[in-house]
Amino acid sequence: MAIVLGLDSSTQSLSAIVLDTEAGSILWEETVRFGEDLPAYNAPHGFIPDSPSGQVHADPMMWLDALDLLFARIKSQGFDLQSIRAISGAGQQHGSVYLDASFSDRLSRLEPKELLSKQLTSSLTRPTSPIWMDGTTTTACRQIEEKLGGPLEVCRRSGSVAIRRFTGPQIRQFYQQSPEQYQATARIHLVSSFLASVMTGSSSRIDRGDGAGMNLMNLSTGGWDADLVEATAPDLASKLPALADSATVIGNIAPYFVNKYGFSEKCLSVLWTGDNPSSLVGMGAAQPGKVVISLGTSDTLFAALTEPLTDPNGFGHVFGNPWGEYMSLVCFRNGSLAREALRDELSAEWSDFEAAVSRPPLAKEVMLPFVEPEITPRTDGAGLMRNSSSELSTLERIRLLLEGQFLNMRLHSVWMQLQPDVIYVTGGASANQGICQVIADVFGAPVKRLSVSGSVCLGAGMRAAEAAFDESKQRLESLFCPTDPDSKIEPNRSLSPIYDNKLQEFAQLVRAL
Ligand code: ADP
Ligand code: XUL
């Protein structure tokens, strides 16, 4: 039984949770918001704004400054970081960091008097990191699929057709557009393995759960797929870290953190995973049976699987499950930022999203919720399309947007063959009752939250305890993943026929795009 730290480097923030796994309690929570707390990076939502069309990158040095700021804050508020015995973390999936041969050496002699960013920035061969919101790699995707013999073959091997935000197509595009920098690159890390490397002071391996989001890993062997790697870029095999099981202890924490923030030199560092696989663990959903909807910057729906079931339509994914076999996932780019955009356009508040469900739905109206380019279905700028032009009130517009988001989710998760008795929700927007009510009504299933919010961070802490000290998964789940007894939201079943009709109407609008 131990004190462990879980970290979550997500799109918009870096969060920490400290768990006491003996008492079953949370000792500390802290968040650094990239936009507010690191304004010098001029990234209000964690990514670089006003980039060329479709390009979404972030500054990896911002993630390092967030680490320094996070630990400085926790220390200055009096929490004794020496008590922590193991750390793990999770990163936003698919994003990649490009480093030259000096990276390992610099990691091994990090100087506590300087910031991490100052000491590691010269190792970057690509100054910014493409993240999951980037949609610029259509050509690279097509080329990889052609070389492999088509999208279905890429999907059969890697669990997904070639996907624009996935790391392989991003690497191919970098090699094609910047061959010299590509050649100077000795290591390509995911966000998760990059931050794990920094925390450990040596280049980390990649967890198979997160590695499955690259279009480079072979799901059935659990290793890099030689044909996919070759089709992606020359010499890529030598630039990729090895893959490893999620429960791998990769070393002790780097001396930098011991000397600067007072961590124990015996503190163990456990491999990091992706944010969605980590959330699966933190929601207590690593065994098949629970369906989770995560409402963060992206909206995702996911569930554990024992067999890799792939999406015949090419939108869904199979990732590794850190505490099981596989997980299926479908991801939507128009999540919280689309809700924020409509909120701001209407000069509304989140309380209006709560109030939007207080009146009956408009039975015949549907809205496509694509404020921004969408991943599922792939569309670059459909906007908020509707099937009518009638005048709407503010609350009606909000409700239609929410219905559109969750009709889209229902439509694109049919392939998972799930029939949830309960849907478990997490992520920033899951605090909103109105949003949860629309989910319950559209899916016709009750919605519940867990007592501990922040399932990505929680999952990282639980993984650290299991991997470093062999603590029982069942015990960790029973301690940290109980449902909040007051949170159950029942669906209004009388609305089910209306939403069944709306789903047909919605599917037609999508087909016409
Ligand atoms: P990520 O982990 O991807 O950075 P979070 O899970 O922290 O994202 O969620 C952040 C989002 O939650 C914000 O962009 C915001 O739009 C949304 N959010 C926060 N509070 C509410 C609320 N009360 N109602 C609706 N959305 C909310
Ligand atoms: C999943 C995906 C996003 C990111 C950021 O495929 O792209 O959910 O992991 O959260």
pLDDT single digits (tens) 238-272 = 999 999 999 999 999 999 999 999 999 999 999 99
For a mutational test of ligand 2's pocket, the pick from 132, 164, 280, i.e. the residue with the most ligand atoms closer than 8 A to its C-beta, is 132
- Report the CATH number of the 285-451+483-513 domain: 3.30.420.40
pLDDT tens column, 403-424: 999 999 999 999 999 989 999 9
Q: Return the SS3 of 493.
A: helix
pLDDT above 70: residue 69: yes
- Ligand 1 centroid – CA 310 distance (Å): 29
pLDDT above 90: residue 56: yes
- Ligand 2 centroid – CA 445 distance (Å): 24
Shortest-distance Cα residue to atom 19 of ligand 1 = 428
Q: In the chain, which residues fall in CATH 3.30.420.40?
A: 3-277, 285-451+483-513
- Nearest atom of ligand 2 to the alpha carbon of 132: 7
Mean pLDDT of 283-312: 95
- Report the CATH number of the 3-277 domain: 3.30.420.40
pLDDT at 1: 63
Rounded CA-CA distance 333/373 in Å is 7
Q: Is 339 left (phi over 0), alpha (psi -120 to 50) or beta?
A: alpha
Distances in Å between the Cα of 384 and the Cα atoms of 394, 398, 412 are: 14, 11, 18
pLDDT at 359: 87
Residue 457 dihedral angles phi and psi, to the nearest 5°: -60, -45
Q: Which residues line the pocket of ligand 2, CB cutoff 6 A?
A: 11, 92-94, 132, 165, 213, 274-276, 296, 298, 300, 329, 331
CA atoms 427, 430, 435, 436: torsion sign: positive
pLDDT above 90: residue 390: no
- The β-bridge relationship of strands 317-320 and 299-305 is unpaired
Residue 171 dihedral angles phi and psi, to the nearest 5°: -65, -45
pLDDT above 70: residue 98: yes
Mean pLDDT across the chain: 96
Question: Relative to the alpha carbon of 66, which ligand is closest?
Answer: 1
Rounded CA-CA distance 130/58 in Å is 7
Question: Relative to the alpha carbon of 94, which ligand is closest?
Answer: 2
Q: Kindly indicate the confidence band of residue 17, based on its pLDDT and cuts at 50, 70 and 90.
A: very high
Q: Return the SS3 of 276.
A: helix
The DSSP H or E segment spanning 171 is helix 167-177
Question: Relative to the alpha carbon of 336, which ligand is closest?
Answer: 1
Intra-chain end-to-end CA distance of the chain, in Å: 54
For 267, counting Cβ atoms within 10 Å of its Cβ (0-12 exposed, 13-18 middle, 19+ buried), the class is buried
- Nearest atom of ligand 1 to the alpha carbon of 12: 4
Mean pLDDT of 341-370: 96
Q: Return the SS3 of 487.
A: coil
pLDDT at 206: 98
pLDDT at 388: 83
Share of residues in the chain with pLDDT > 70 (%):
100
pLDDT above 80: residue 382: no
Mean pLDDT of 315-319: 96
For a mutational test of ligand 1's pocket, the pick from 15, 333, 336, i.e. the residue with the most ligand atoms closer than 8 A to its C-beta, is 336
Mean pLDDT of 452-481: 97
pLDDT above 90: residue 386: no
pLDDT at 320: 97
